[in-house]
Amino acid sequence: MKTIFPFGRFFRNGLQGISLAVVLAGAASCSRQAPVVSDDSDKADGTNDASTVAVAKVTLGEVSKTVGLTAEFLPWQDVEIHAKVAGYVKVINVDVGDHAKTGDVLAVLEIPELDDELKQAEAAILTAEQEVKSMQAAYDESTLLANRMNAAAKETQGLIAQQDLDTANDKNRADEANLEAAKQKVNEARANADHLQDLVAYSKIIAPFNGVVTRRYADTGALVQAGTVQAGVSGNSNSMPLVSFAQLNPLRLEFPVPESDVPYVHLGDSVEVEVPALNKKFEGKVSRFAQKVDTATRTMLTEVDVDNPDYLYTPGMYATVQLTLARKSDTLTIPIQSLNVGDQPSVLIVKDNRIEKREVTVGVETPDRAEILDGLEEGDLVVVGNRGALQVGQPANPKLVDNSTP
């Protein structure tokens, strides 16, 4: 009898055996890869996948806050000199650019009617003085007569009529009053003459201080009006001046300080001045400030006194002033680019190879440095590179860079 081999069943059983072997082999393979988990745990300490981060050390240093402002040179004093009395320009001794000292005669006016009035006033004084002499003689005579009659009346006991005594005494008192009136007229005449003498003196236009004529308005022969209104006399307060006169040594360097910087301005603060027109630089100090903010410009007027013995600087020239508003020494500083500003300023630091966020208190800020009052210590490493891609807690390898390098 022929034996039939069950090839089909064997084949099916063989496939099942192969499949089981594959499954078992896969399970064995998975069990051999289990140590990979421990490798991932090794990476958790940041030694293998940490990013390199640019940092700078928190250091002790000096910071100073300065602001650049546009300034203008102005005269120390600048006036337009008017005539105090009306008259014709007899002579003018100066022209534009001429220097004069205090008391120098700049111009002389001719006032013909004033001379006549002065002569009349002097004659009035003489007349009043003669009147005083006459009144004095009458008073002396009536005083002598009254004294004699009063003495005789006491000795004779009624031989002299009372009416005669009263008449003598009344005349004496009248002469005394007339004498006082005459003396008063003399005083009035002298006061009038003195006033006219002052007006004559006003015909000379005098330099009020050492300065330079910056403009001339009148020529010889010109009629000028009084520049001031005298009491009881009509005058022209809008009269044309004779000259403009300015004191150019020293000069005022004037500049406006913005309202936000006003609290930092103090007398004696140092400034650095640059005059582009002359390619000159020099140092100065704040001499005065208005202590009031202009409501129109929101600035405060500030001045620096500038010596100008050689008249190198000219009023109207512009200058640039670098005003130091604050200066701190031996204070903690960081690069300004490491600071994240906002309601609460903060920085990112690298500590123990991890990114940390620190809130800080900021003091003086400059274009490249910031003062840190609280939140950091000397030697801390602050991130100065690109912080946008960094997360708090992220592993990081710090790379120290120059503080000036972003």
What confidence tens digit (pLDDT) does each residue in 261-273 have?
A: 999 899 999 999 9
Q: Any idea what the CATH number is for the domain that residue 255 is in?
A: 2.40.30.170
| Pick from 350, 283, 307, 372: nearest CA to 55 | 350
Tell me what pLDDT residue 91 has: 96
Examine residue 70 and state whether it is found in any structural domain, yes or no.
Answer: no
Tell me what pLDDT residue 240 has: 85
208-230 mean pLDDT: 87
The domain in which residue 214 lies consists of: 83-108+206-241
3-state secondary structure the chain: CCCCCCHHHHHHHHHHHHHHHHHHHHHHHHHHCCHHHHHHHHHCCCCCCCEEEEEEECEEEEEEEEEEEEEEEEEEEEEEECECCCEEEEEECCCCCCEECCCCEEEEEECHHHHHHHHHHHHHHHHHHHHHHHHHHHHHHHHHHHHHHHHHHHHHCCCCCHHHHHHHHHHHHHHHHHHHHHHHHHHHHHHHHHHHHHHHHHCEEECCCCEEEEEECCCCCCEECECCCCCCCCCCCCCCCCEEEEEEEEEEEEEEEEHHHHHHCCCCCEEEEEECCCCEEEEEEEEEEEEEEECCCCEEEEEEEECCCCCCCCCCCEEEEEEEEEEEEEEEEEEHHHCECCCCCEEEEEECCEEEEEECEEEEECCCEEEEEECCCCCCEEECCCCCCCCCCCEEEEEECCCCCC
Q: How many domains does the chain have?
A: 4
Residues 213 and 357 in one domain: no
Q: Do the Cβ atoms of 384 and 348 come closer than 8 Å?
A: no
287-311 mean pLDDT: 96
Tell me what pLDDT residue 198 has: 85
Residues 123 and 144 in one domain: yes
From CA 91, how far away is CA 88, in angstroms rounded? Answer: 9
Residues 257 and 277 in one domain: yes
Residues 296 and 338 in one domain: no
Q: Which of 10-19, 74-83, 371-380 has the lowest mean pLDDT?
A: 10-19
Examine residue 37 and state whether it is found in any structural domain, yes or no.
Answer: no
Examine residue 16 and state whether it is found in any structural domain, yes or no.
Answer: no
Tell me what pLDDT residue 117 has: 87
Residues 300 and 231 in one domain: no
Examine residue 40 and state whether it is found in any structural domain, yes or no.
Answer: no
Residue with tokens 């940390």: 356
183-196 mean pLDDT: 91
Which position has the higher pLDDT, 29 or 374? 374
Residues 301 and 185 in one domain: no
Examine residue 116 and state whether it is found in any structural domain, yes or no.
Answer: yes
Residues 91 and 229 in one domain: yes
Examine residue 14 and state whether it is found in any structural domain, yes or no.
Answer: no
Residues 123 and 137 in one domain: yes
Q: Do the Cβ atoms of 368 and 65 come closer than 8 Å?
A: no
Residues 396 and 338 in one domain: yes
Examine residue 320 and state whether it is found in any structural domain, yes or no.
Answer: yes
Residues ≥6 apart with Cβ < 8 Å to 4 = none
Residues 119 and 197 in one domain: yes
User: CA 248 → CA 95, 279, 282, 306, distances in Å?
Assistant: 16, 20, 18, 10
- The predicted-structure confidence for 146-170, as pLDDT tens digits, reads as follows 898 888 888 887 678 888 888 989 9
Tell me what pLDDT residue 151 has: 86
Which position has the higher pLDDT, 23 or 397? 397
17-23 mean pLDDT: 40
Q: Do the Cβ atoms of 237 and 225 come closer than 8 Å?
A: no
Residues 99 and 225 in one domain: yes
Residues 116 and 192 in one domain: yes
- The predicted-structure confidence for 230-265, as pLDDT tens digits, reads as follows 444 444 456 789 999 999 999 999 999 999 999 989
Supply the mean pLDDT for the chain.
Answer: 84
